[in-house]
Amino acid sequence: MLTVANDLDSPTAKAGADAASPPSPAAVTTFFVEVDGGRIACDDTGGDGPLIVAIPGMGDVRAEYRYLSPLLVAAGYRVVTMDIRGHGDSSVRWDDYSARAVGSDALAVARHLGRTEVFLFGNSFAAGSALWAAREAPECVRAVVLLGPIVRDGPPSVVTRLALALGFGGPWRVWFWLTYWNSLFTLAKPPDHERYRRALDKALRGPGRMEALRIMVGLSKAETASIVGSVRVPALVIMGSRDPDFRDARDEAAWLAGQLGCASLIIEGAGHYPHVEAPGQFAAALVDFLGRLRPATS
């Protein structure tokens, strides 16, 4: 396991200095991919480089990768970010919100772009989506990068279940989710954090959005956990050392890396969004990892 430590005196100062400016709206093109049951909204940086499709976690939107994308584009990659089912500008109501279904959507995005090979990034539950896509189309998925991956159920907790039932049970549900979301940044919040929070608040208040999130939160990850040991594509597990979603982020990273036969990277002090809190460190590790693989073809 590789640990990335902060060199400056203040972890917050390090993360702030590390943060790139998000791309301007003119730097990306938005498009939609029709799949069975609805459509998926995507932002495309363009270019002819190897394709990366980045999937955000539940309760967030494709702009989650706004700091990481320009750094990868500068390294020669084409980065496409997508809204998962029920989120952002993707369709609201679906029969299936599972990680497996979202993985199939990511593959559909690559096919829509005419690409036969793709690198898949998945944050949180969407790490499971990347794994499902790799299992179902190993000839297409060149590698997966799993960011703060939640691919198995944690120990059952009455307190957790009660908190979720109450949290999603009233008009305070958006506030409840965003309070939790805000707690996931343990190293530093990016410069545009408050503006992004307001935009996410607005997005979650759209018709049916919180219901889609509630369904996703309640889904078991047992099906995803059952395939972890059978996925055999190049992989990299990246976690923040203080990720609040895990009792011990280092142990979880070591377990998953062991299952996949891959390396893991720990970013010291970071929480559930290390690619937002420390994008420069994150991108450097990714470029090194991806650069050691055979370049993807268009």
The three-point CA angle 15-143-33 to 5° equals: 90
CA distances from 90 to 35, 112, 168, 275 (A): 11, 16, 21, 23
Partner residues linked to 30 by β-bridges: 43
Q: Is residue 82 a contact partner of residue 62, using CB atoms and an 8 Å limit?
A: yes
Q: Which two tokens stand for residue 279?
A: 């994008």
For the domain made up of 2-291, give the CATH fold. Rossmann fold (3.40.50)
**C-alpha dihedral (228, 229, 233, 235), degrees to nearest 10:** 60
Q: Which two tokens stand for residue 100?
A: 């497996």
pLDDT of residue 17: 36
Verdict on whether the full-model pTM lies above 0.85? yes
As a whole number of angstroms, the distance between CA 123 and CA 68 comes to 13
The per-residue pLDDT for range 86-140, each reduced to its tens digit, is 999 999 999 999 999 999 999 999 999 999 999 999 999 999 999 999 999 999 9
The per-residue pLDDT for range 4-52, each reduced to its tens digit, is 333 222 233 334 334 445 555 457 899 999 999 999 999 999 888 999 9
The per-residue pLDDT for range 233-265, each reduced to its tens digit, is 999 999 999 999 999 999 999 999 999 999 999
pLDDT of residue 215: 93
For 163-232, give the secondary structure using H, E and C. Answer: HHHHHCCCCCHHHHHHHHHHCCCCCCCCCCHHHHHHHHHHHHCCCCHHHHHHHHHHCCCHHHHHHHHHCC
CA distances from 137 to 69, 107, 117 (A): 24, 8, 10
> What are φ and ψ of residue 54, in 5° steps?
-110, 125
Q: Which two tokens stand for residue 227?
A: 């395939």
Q: Is residue 99 a contact partner of residue 125, using CB atoms and an 8 Å limit?
A: yes
